[in-house]
């Protein structure tokens, strides 16, 4: 069974530290040009269908700005 997931970023909590970018084994997370209300660049994800829901990004985020949902696909 394949594992898949979905990552959700709380942009207003993100400080653009890039720790989640380095932690993603699939290299799906990137720093966007968007700024949050505090003036920090925020992260986004590309090719979200390739996310396995491993939650490495979540574990690395010091600001708790990431939520990961995961499920198993038959």
- Structure confidence at residue 66 (pLDDT): 97
What percent of the chain clears pLDDT 70, i.e. is strictly above it?
Answer: 96
Q: pTM for the whole thing?
A: 0.87
Residue among 3, 5, 2, 1 nearest 48 (CA):
5
Is-contact 19 67, C-beta < 8 A? no
Q: Which two tokens stand for residue 23?
A: 């932690």
Q: Is 32 exposed, middle or buried (0-12, 13-18, 19+ CB in 10 A)?
A: middle
Yes or no: say if 20 and 43 are a contact pair by the CB < 8 Å rule.
yes
At residue 41, the pLDDT reads 97
Give the three-state DSSP class for 46. coil
Strand, coil or helix: what is 12? coil
Domain covering 2-73: architecture? 2-Layer Sandwich (3.30)
């Amino acid at each position: 069974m394949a594992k898949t997931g979905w990552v959700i970023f709380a942009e207003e909590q993100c400080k653009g530290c890039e720790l989640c970018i380095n932690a993603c084994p699939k290299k799906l997370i990137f720093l966007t040009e968007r700024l949050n209300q505090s003036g920090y660049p925020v992260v986004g994800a590309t090719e979200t269908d390739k996310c396995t829901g491993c939650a490495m990004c979540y574990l690395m985020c010091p600001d708790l700005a990431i939520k990961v949902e995961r499920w198993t696909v038959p």
